Structure 1
Amino acid sequence: MTDNNTANKTAYSSEKKVKLNKRSFQSLLGIYKFIIPYKWQFIVGILSLVFSSLSLLTFPLASGELIDVASGNSSWISESINTIALILLAVFFIQSIFSFVRVYFFAQVNEKSMADVRLALYSKLMSLPMTFYDQHRTGELISRITSDVSLLQSTFSTTLAELLRQMATLLIGVVVISFMAPQLTAFMLATFPVLVILAVLFGKKIRKLSKTTQDQLADTNIIVEETLQAIQAVKSFTSELFEIKKYNASLTAVVGTALKAAVYRGLFISFVIFALFGGIVAVIWYGASLVEAGTLTVGELISFVLYTTLIGGSIAGLGDLYGQVQKAVGASERVLAILSKQEELDPTQYYRGKNQLNIKGQIEFKNVDFSYPTRNDIQVLNKINFTINRGEKIALVGHSGAGKSTITQLLLRYYNVDQGEILLDKQNINKYDLLAYRHHVGIVPQEVILFGGSIRENIMYGRPGASFEEIQEAAEKANAKSFIETFPEGFDTLVGERGVKLSGGQRQRIAIARAILKNPEILILDEATSSLDAESENLVQQALDRLMENRTTIIIAHRLATIKKVDQIYVLKSGQIVEQGTHDELNQLEGDYSNLVKLQLQSAGHLA
């Protein structure tokens, strides 16, 4: 449970900030390769941003000139108030046009490029090997494609644009006021270091409390996630009140930390207001003395105050924007880390009609050793040797953990063997194109996972593009058509998330229909009837018998009565084959297999 919580917290804390340096900025720039196809829209957006900022910065200058014209001190543009007023209106009109162009083109670049990022991430996830999924939890990966990309989206759409605007406002504004009133500019800049230091101290404390709040909120989200996933257990143990109290306690901790952070934010805002308006008062006081001395006009003072306000606003906004960029850098590093992984296949290759194989179905395991990459210290398979001829049916039996499912996972090439080799039609399976190879291997698992669409879509998953007549035929062979047609929507009936609207036997028959439609040369049945009632098991077994006809079949079974007719049974124990033979031969050996048969007969007797 602790490991799961840690992984979930990692997923929820995806907005973690990182230190900004050359390497981290390179990570952020790595995302820009997705903007290259839309570079002209991006350039237009940047130019619009620059012109929009420049047009806005002419407003204080024109406003001051308007005051000077009114007081008879103008020596700049015109003696007419109306002319200057029209210039101001023109400035705002031009600024609004550039703002619209900026928003429109940045939106185009942002939406399209982030869609490309999501597609690249999803395509990469689809093409990564099982070893990757052994090391990463689902919640973490979903967070990468949702939270991290959403964070990048907001960064590229608003944060970076706003950062450029604020920096341009700050730099250009300081240059303008330096020429306008050098003495007043020096006076204003002298107060900045104190304000910046205090702002940094406040910001550091607020960020720390915000991080704590985020972590605590992640804990509350974990409680919700776990209870909803295990809602049946919660209700069966009548633990509703216990979970509510636990969630309430977690929320109380979040509220306490958040309120503490709110106090600091309130103090910080009060400080900013006092410092900002105090600075303006100080500038006006000193500027008034310069006006009195005749070295500055009233209009120039007004322009200076307006520029000071714009500059102060830019400085105040840079801290928050810096924090947003920090988060974006962290998100870009996590996204690029996935995109840089080595994939096991190109998911578009098979569907272009390439690399079709002529598979007959003879399988041979030769001295196969294997340990899972995440558990190298535990040897799961040790010197496994067996051969399955074309069209034969073999069964793998043994206690849980003996290595039965591992053999099928190696056959599906989810993992590579440590030693030895697996041959298909006398050729190492690693020499076959992976997508084309897997197309010839079908599996009916014990726990069938259906997708949340219709029954038709789930059956057609075995062969996309199959006709409705082929889907109906597969369903009939799987003993599924009869129950499907009892639904009002028939084959268009929605199965619900993971197929929850269907019974276990119905899900199994849908999975069998899917495998029949796929029509593989090699078939894996992973305890396909172990969790069914007698009636469902009989229907499923009939469907399986049809499915196994003329196919090389590997059956993993706990119910030994279902494998009496197979050609060969292999008994596994601690990763080794300890017995092999037919049902009758193994029963006469009085070994592990016969003991398993006796245990099942005893269990059946007790149940009777």
Structure 2
Amino acid sequence: MARFKENDLPKSKITATSLTKAKIIFKYAGNNSWKFYVGLLFLLLTSVTALAFPKFMGMLVDCVNKKDASSANQIALGLGLVLILQSVFSFFRLYLFVNFTENTLANVRLALYTNLVKLPMTFFSQKRVGELNSRISNDITQIQDTLTTTIAEFLRQFILIIGSFVMLASINIKLTIMMVSIVPLVGVAAVLFGRYIRKYSKKVQDQVAESQVVVEETMQGISIVKAFANEWYEIARYRTKIKEVVKVAIKGGQLRGYFASFIIICLFGTIVAVVWYGVQLSIAGEITVGELFTFILYSSYVGASSGGIAELYAQVQKAIGATERVFELLDEKPEEINAVAHIHNIEKIKGDVSFQNVAFSYPSRKEIQVLKDVNFTAGSGQKIAVVGPSGAGKSTIASLLLRFYDTDKGSILIDDKNIYDYDLENLRGNMSIVPQDVILFGGTIKENIAYGKPNATDEEIILAAKQANAINFIESFPEKMDTIVGERGIKLSGGQRQRIAIARALLKNPSILILDEATSSLDSESEKLVQEALEVLMEGRTSIIIAHRLSTIRSADQILVIDNGVISEQGTHSELINLENGIYKNLSNLQFSHS
């Protein structure tokens, strides 16, 4: 996985529209906008004091000819004052820009995360997590750098170039014309050369990243590498990549050598040429030595700023691109979720579920109909099992019930009311899901159970853990409820994770329960404990059980057999087992003959 480098961020052309888009960022500044504008004022003052510096220096040098010590002292004091002012202005400029940027970007980050979390599942099924992460980290960092320093630097260099030219022309026009014909050309050539070299060093970075991928893959799959005794193969693969790195890096070094030679000849050559011509003019009496000195300082300003400004312009382009990408995400339409209602006033529903002629295909695969004309009803408190081959659409029923996706056709009713007439937080607040692959968050066991009801008391949490058959293993840990579960619950076994998920669901006290193959990946010991906990959990609730193992659903009130997106058989276990050549009967025979 090649790491993002800021060089990789795409640039955006700077046009009137892209600038208008980028200005949206000020919407998030709240009452911090003034800091940006005051910062700009200090930036202007910094540039003006910088331009005064060569002028005073020239006057100081001229005191040699005049043999005027008292003027020299005054000018030196003046220079000291200029430096103090410049340092004060610079401090406020930086302080204000950073203050403005951090406050504004904190608002942007929060708005972005808030919007992301509320986006519908359709959005997440089409986007990679890595890409979204990159938006929140890389893109915002790019905007951060630009607002803090790049814009200020860009404007400062721009003012310095223009100001220096004005000052140069006021000293001597002949010398200025000569300087203009050489210095900016050298500056621009240096930038172009530098960019070419950077492209090369980016190539080296990419190659190194690729060689890292080999290492990462090998380490992650080391058991496979060893099982196949393929160490030699991996070493050869790595050797090839390393050789490529060396080749590209040496070429880059050669280019850097050329660049150094070029800079020495051109830049110093230019300085020699300007000084030589200045000396000629000075001998002819057209210019004083002090003015020549001032002239050289202003020329060096022009040279340095010409070199830096192109780079800064590229950074600004990247930042505008980054801003556009961040605002694209902010423009995505979130689901209507009212966070506060979630905890306090969820109306309890009874839990009658009815699917009427429901058809559905995933937005990313429109051409494949996952469900076609599905009809079934589940009375409050009933257990409905859904079985069928992989990919038949079992889990899709759960996703539609939770309103992760919108149905294409037909309607889903809960308590005889269309699910689209419920508020999302009310609908989902009455449901709980225990998935096959339980994802826990990296906090403590207690926090993970309380996820079902964030304001639960300790007694409620302990009761839920007892009912979920989890209290014994929790008590066996030294930190008990405060045990950290690790990222995604990595420190717990499958059965333990499953029971925490059941406790989480119990605490939420839902009317409708979805069990998505909740015991399919457990050993028989854990399965027994989890199954008992599930029985407690299903008590008095409408349960939709998606199952691979048929042994877990014999007691269901109704079993739906889904095949190719339609319900091909439905009934109780004893009814379905007697169907001649039935899918359920075949599945059942297969499983029980093996077990």
Mean Cα deviation higher: 591-600 or 173-182: 173-182
> What is the CA-CA distance between 1:195 and the residue it aligns to?
2.4
Deviation at 1:276, TM superposition (A): 2.2
Show CA shifts across 1:350-398 (max 9, x none): 35856x3331111111111111111111111010000111111100000
- Structure 1 residue runs of 4 or more that deviate by more than 6 Å after TM superposition: 8-13
Shift in Å, 1:119: 1.5
1:47 to 2:41 alignment: yes
Q: 1:307 to 1:196 in 2, by over 3 A?
A: closer
Structure 1 residue 153, shift from structure 2 partner: 1.3
Tell whether 2:84 aligns with 1:58. Answer: no
TM-score using structure 2 length = 0.94
Q: How far 1:231 sits from its partner (Å)? A: 6.0
Distance in 2 (CA, whole Å) between partners of 1:19 and 1:215 is 25
1:533 and 2:528 correspond: no
1:188-245: CA deviation from partner (whole Å, max 9, x where unpaired):
1112464255335424533543453454455345546655665665566565665565
Gap regions ≥5 residues in structure 1: none
* CA 1:256–1:343: 2 relative to 1, 3 Å: farther
Q: Is the contact between residue 444 and residue 525 of structure 1 (CA under 8 Å) also seen in structure 2?
A: yes
For residue 522 of structure 1, the aligned residue among 512, 516, 519 is 512
Match of 2:58, as an amino acid?
G
Equivalent of 1:552 in 511, 517, 542: 542
Which of residues 109, 113, 122 in structure 1 aligns to 2:113? 122
Structure 2: gaps spanning 5 or more residues: none
Q: Shift of the alpha carbon at 1:99?
A: 1.2
Alignment map for 1:42-121 (pairs within 5 Å) = 42-72=36-66, 79-121=70-112
**Letter in structure 1 aligned against 2:478:** P
SS at match of 1:189: helix
Cα RMSD of the aligned pairs, angstroms, is 2.4
The AA in structure 1 aligned to 2:467 is K
Provide the secondary structure at the position in 2 that maps to 1:517: helix
Alignment deviations for residues 241-270 of structure 1 (CA, whole Å, 9 cap, x no partner): 655654454344344334433433443344
Q: How does 1:371-410 map to 2 (within 5 A)?
A: 371-410=361-400
Matched ranges for 1:414-563 at <5 A: 414-563=404-553
Residues 545-565 of structure 1, C-alpha deviation per residue, up to 9 Å, x if partnerless? 111111111000111111111
2:576 corresponding residue in structure 1: 586
**Cα contact 1:11–1:143 (8 A) shared by 2:** no
Tell me if the contact between 1:127 and 1:344 (Cα under 8 Å) persists in the aligned partners.
yes
Q: Give 1:14 shift.
A: 4.9
Residue equivalent to 2:304: 313
- Distance in 1, matches of 2:118 and 2:7, equals 26
SS in 2 for 1:384: strand
Change (3 A) 1:234 1:161: farther
User: Aligned partners of 2:215 and 2:104: how far apart in 1?
Assistant: 33
Residues 128 and 212 (structure 1), Cα distance of their counterparts in 2 relative to 1, 3 Å cut: same
| TM, length-normalised to structure 1 | 0.92
- The whole-number CA distance in structure 2 between the counterparts of 1:326 and 1:240 is 46
Q: Please, which moves more after superposition, 114-123 or 508-517?
A: 114-123
Q: Which amino acid aligns with 1:418?
A: D
SS for the counterpart of 1:589 is: coil
Give the aligned partner of residue 25 of structure 2: 31
Amino acid in structure 2 at the alignment position of 1:451: F
Pairs aligned (count)? 594
Distance 1:222 1:29, change over 3 A: farther
For residues 54-76 of structure 1, the C-alpha deviation after alignment (integer angstroms, 9 at most, x for no partner) is 112111110100011222188xx
Q: 3-state SS of the aligned residue for 1:571?
A: strand
Q: Secondary structure at the match of 1:330?
A: helix
Letter in structure 2 aligned against 1:345: E
Q: Which amino acid aligns with 1:187?
A: M
Residue 418 to residue 116, structure 1, CA distance change in 2 (3 Å): same
Q: Sequence identity of aligned pairs in percent? A: 52
For 1:422 and 1:73, how far apart are their aligned partners in 2?
Answer: 98
Distance 2:512 2:66 in 1: 96
The answer to whether the aligner puts 1:21 opposite 2:12 as a matched pair is no
Cα separation, partners in 2 of 1:19 and 1:254, compared to 1, 3 Å: farther
